[in-house]
């Protein structure tokens, strides 16, 4: 994950944006696996 992605994820976490969290989490898993 890039710094920008981490910052965006943190912003989503702060505002309890579950959609953003799940989306970034899936992206993170995809990046980790591939």
CA 4 to chain centre: 10
pLDDT at 16: 59
Answering whether pTM is above 0.85, one says no
Token pair listed for 25: 């989490």
Q: Which pLDDT value is given to residue 30? A: 75
Cβ–Cβ under 8 Å, residues 32 and 1: no
Q: Give the pLDDT confidence score for residue 6 in this predicted structure.
A: 81
| pLDDT by position in tens, the chain (length 34) | 688 888 877 776 666 555 656 676 777 777 776 5
């Amino acid at each position: 994950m890039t710094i920008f992605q981490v910052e965006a994820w943190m912003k989503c976490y702060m505002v309890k944006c579950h959609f953003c969290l799940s989306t970034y989490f899936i992206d993170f898993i995809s990046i980790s696996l591939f």
